[in-house]
Amino acid sequence: MNKNSIILSQKYVTALQTYLKPGLRANVQSALALGRQAVGLGLETLALARIHEQALAAMALSHNKNQLIKRAEVFFNEAIIPIVETHRAAQQSKANLQRANATLDRRTAELAESNCRLQHGISLRKDLEAAAEKNGRRHRKCLEESLELQVHLRQLTHRVMVAQEDDRYKVSHELQDEIAQTLLGINVRLISIKQKAGCSTRGLKNEIASTQRLVVNSAKSVRRFAREIRLRRPAKNT
């Protein structure tokens, strides 16, 4: 027992003796004060019970012993009230702490779940942004390729049209030359026939002359057709 406990024990004996003196009005305020001092010293109920037993032993009760012991129990019960209240407060604080811890654990779990959902949302948003950016690049690439293809198609179409026009011009020119040469040959033969016929057959001469005019007119028509084809031929674009 340390010094403070010894002093408290001496005070307890004095207060108990005063409480048990016959003819005095019982006052338990001193017991409550001793109980508060015991709480301040950190003493528990068992330690105060030992001090109570030591006080009874020191008093060497003989006269009306049982009655005095019962009165002493009342004093002791009053003395331990502050300790009991301290225990009750400690238990209440412990219960409050447990509830607070449970609430904290629950909120921590909720926060962890919310954080998990948030991280999932962030990851999903990043994936969507990456996919959108990738699709955007792909769309731009497809658009560029489409524009290039359109340009190439226009160029190819123009080259085809030019080639077709060149072919038509070439064919018409060859046709013109061929027909002109044919007609020229016919004309030459007719001239020869006319010269050989002489003046013996007037009808034959007229027929040959008519044929010559027809051939000449046909040659003019062919030349005119070829000239119109050349005029309608579009200019070449380089």
Q: Which pLDDT score, from 0 to 100, does residue 1 have?
A: 66
Provide the b/e sequence for 145-157 (b: ≥16 CB within 10 Å): eeeeeeeeeeeee
Beta strand residue intervals within 24-180, DSSP E:
none
Tokens 């207060």: give the residue. Answer: 15
Distance CA 179, CA 77 (A): 148
Average pLDDT taken over every residue of the chain: 80
Half-sphere exposure of 73 (CA within 13 A, CB side): 6
Which stretch of 84-98, 130-144, 185-199 has the lowest confidence by average pLDDT? Answer: 185-199
Distance CA 48, CA 46 (A): 5
Q: Is residue 18, in this structure, part of any structural domain at all?
A: yes
Of 234, 194, 226, the closest CA to residue 210 belongs to 194
Q: Which residue, of 33, 52, 79, is where some domain finishes?
A: 79
Of 175, 157, 158, 171, the closest CA to residue 235 belongs to 158
> What is the pLDDT averaged over residues 161-175?
72
Give first-to-last CA distance, the chain, whole Å: 119
Tokens 């048990």: give the residue. Answer: 20
Q: Is residue 68, in this structure, part of any structural domain at all?
A: yes
Under a CB-based contact definition with an 8 Å cutoff, are residues 229 and 175 in contact?
A: no
Q: Is residue 208, in this structure, part of any structural domain at all?
A: yes
* pTM score of the predicted model: 0.41
Distance CA 72, CA 12 (A): 11
Q: Is residue 127, in this structure, part of any structural domain at all?
A: no
Q: Is residue 53, in this structure, part of any structural domain at all?
A: yes
Q: Which pLDDT score, from 0 to 100, does residue 51 have?
A: 92
Q: Is residue 126, in this structure, part of any structural domain at all?
A: no
Domain that holds residue 209: 165-232
Percent of the chain with pLDDT over 90: 17
Would you say residue 94 has pLDDT above 80? Answer: no
Q: Determine how many CB atoms are found less than 10 A away from the CB of residue 3.
A: 7
Would you say residue 20 has pLDDT above 70? Answer: yes
What is the domain count for the chain? 2
At residue 238 the predicted structure's pLDDT band, cuts being 50, 70 and 90, is: very low
Q: Is residue 100, in this structure, part of any structural domain at all?
A: no
Of 185, 171, 170, 169, the closest CA to residue 219 belongs to 185
Q: Which residue, of 29, 64, 79, is where some domain finishes?
A: 79
Under a CB-based contact definition with an 8 Å cutoff, are residues 162 and 236 in contact?
A: yes
Q: Is residue 32, in this structure, part of any structural domain at all?
A: yes
Q: Which residue, of 79, 99, 119, is where some domain finishes?
A: 79
